Chain A
Amino acid sequence: MIVQRKELTFWERLYLPAILGGLKVTWRHFRKTFFKGQTAAKELAGGFYPETKWVVAEGYRGAPYLVRDPDGRTKCVSCQLCEFVCPPKAIRITPPGPEGSPQVGNVEKEPREFEIDMLRCIFCGYCQEVCPEEAIFLMKDYSLNGFTRQEMIYNKEKLLSLGGVHNDQIHKWKKK
């Protein structure tokens, strides 16, 4: 594609109209914020960040958390697809091994441990996309913090409590 460039007139080539235009725009915004106190944060979110949290849009990809099914069971089956697909290698799964977990009966292969290093996670959503069990979802949390690196590695318990229950129509384990 060839973009036709408009020949600038002498007046335009002096840069003066650009200066005046720039002055007008910047002054308009300066006046609005400085004298009337209309900031983008107030208009869009109703306040400033740490006090008023930004409300994210539907479909926002935040931190990935594990979910339970309506019966309270962990949906993850330790297939480790998310671990393989994770670009920054933030996920580490410890599968239970061939004997399985004694507590969960006939539910297959609930992971013994499931860790996501939130310092490495890039919120790409590949884990959610690849999960055959719909057990991991990117939720709306975007501000995760802690005092140590160790604190930022979220374990299974924490991920499950943050993820909550996923109200699915399919009850896979009901009749097993």
Chain B
Amino acid sequence: MSWIDNLSPTAQGVLFSIIKIICVVVGLLTMFAYAVWLERRVSAFIQDRVGPNRVGPFGLLQPVADGIKALLKEDFTPAHVRKAYFWLAPAIAVIPALLVMAVIPFGSNLGREKMVIADLNVGILYTFGIVSLGVYSIVLAGYAANSKYPFLGGIRSSAQMISYEIAMGMSVIPVFMLVGSLNLGQVIAYQAPGIFGWLVFKQPLAFVIFLVAAFAETKRTPFDLPEAEQELAGGYNVEYSSMKFALFFMGEYINVIASSAMMVTLFFGGWTLPFAGLNQPAGTIAQGLAHIGIFLAKVFVFLVVIIWVRWMWPRFRYDQLMDLGWRRFVPLALANILVTALVLWAKA
């Protein structure tokens, strides 16, 4: 492997970044496929069914069958849609969801390479900037479909996402006041020493607000008003079929994975575990892989929780949703910032 050492640092950076990007995207798409499978199985068990169990052992090849079906289905464009936006919207659904993963440290390091695609110093600002682009896909899809249910779904989602983005953004400010940096690697380093260093114990209120806002941002029950099968017959994606519909699905699930990863990073210590020396950056390849495994395991726990909650609660009414966002979580998040600031000031 000496030819790698002979490359210039820039070329090495580009090479390793490309490798990491490919690994992350492939990993994410695999996780998306199995998140759908997991959702279907867990939902089925909760409803006294068994879910997809015929394709391969335990139905593990179901995602393959689904993918083939989505690709082979007729890609139907209704006559009454606005074509350009109709084609654009599914792409916009997926791209921001993938971009969010760029700043999340999914492991410590393998060899000399840090396991994060872009070690940005403004990681969280970047995340919020990108996440807020996601709403455009739904608004565009609702507008492009040119029929009433998708339109209602689009309107609902724009109002909902704008409201909860504020609560979400404000809920993480105390985290960064404690850490003193916007870099997600630093956030993890701050939480590494012990389990009570995890920010979920230091900032429980921030975590609760972030969790609820994440549910609203990813349009999961009990905040799935943009889709609301029973009211809007599927909402913004009613007019879509085949691969375009699958892209919306993909965007949604990758968002769920990304927000799980975000919660793990911000509040649950990222790739660290406070024992067996797993809270230090890895010295060996095996340790590096263990860190990636820990990160994935934590994300998996969050995925199960998010899937489970879907069957625990009925959907909020629209005014309750707005009330909860603006009149409960925004003031609570503000109060949390204030209290944290006062405590830090008193300590200093």
Chain A residues at the B interface, C-beta cutoff of 8 Å: 18-19, 22-23, 25-26, 29-30, 32-34, 38-41, 48
Contacts and interface: CB of A to CB of B under 8 A. Distances in A.
Interface in B40-98: 42, 44-50
Closest 4 CB pairs of A and B: A22-B312, A40-B48, A33-B45, A34-B45
B324 to A, nearest CB: 9
A29 B48 contact: yes
B311 interface: yes
Interface in B13-50: 42, 44-50
B45 A48 contact: no
A26 B50 contact: no
Contacts of B46: 26, 29-30, 33
Contacts of A38: 48
B312 A39 contact: no
B50 to A, nearest CB: 6
B50 A29 contact: no
B126 interface: no
B308 interface: yes
Contacts of A18: 313
Nearest to A21: B312
What class of interface size applies to chain B in its complex with A? 10 to 19
Nearest to A37: B50
A19 B47 CA distance: 17
B313 A22 contact: yes
Nearest to B309: A22
Contacts of A25: 312
Contact of A33 (B49, B311, B312, B313): B49
A23 B305 CA distance: 11
B49 A26 contact: no
A35 to B, nearest CB: 10
9 contacts: A23-B312, A26-B46, A29-B45, A30-B42, A30-B45, A30-B46, A33-B44, A33-B45, A48-B50
A30 B46 CA distance: 4
Contacts of A32: 48
B48 A26 contact: no
A19 B48 contact: no
B49 A19 contact: no
B10 to A, nearest CB: 52
A38 B47 CA distance: 11
Contact of B311 (A19, A26, A40): A26
B179 to A, nearest CB: 29
Contacts of A34: 45
B45 A41 contact: no
Given A30-B45, A33-B45, A19 B312 contact: yes
Most B-side CB within 10 Å, residue of A18, A23, A39: A39
Contacts of B47: 29, 40
B216 to A, nearest CB: 14
B136 to A, nearest CB: 31
A39 B42 contact: no
Contacts of B313: 18-19, 22
B164 to A, nearest CB: 16
Interface in B287-338: 308, 311-313
Contacts of B42: 30
Contacts of A23: 312
A33 B312 CA distance: 16
Contacts of B48: 29, 32-33, 38-40
A29 B50 CA distance: 12
Nearest to A43: B48
Nearest to A44: B48
A34 B47 CA distance: 11
A48 B49 CA distance: 10
Contacts of A26: 46, 308, 311-312
A11 to B, nearest CB: 16
B8 to A, nearest CB: 54
Contacts of B312: 19, 22-23, 25-26
Given A30-B42, A40-B48, 18 more contacts: A18-B313, A19-B313, A22-B313, A23-B312, A26-B308, A26-B312, A29-B46, A29-B47, A29-B48, A30-B45, A30-B46, A33-B46, A33-B49, A33-B50, A34-B45, A39-B50, A41-B49, A48-B50
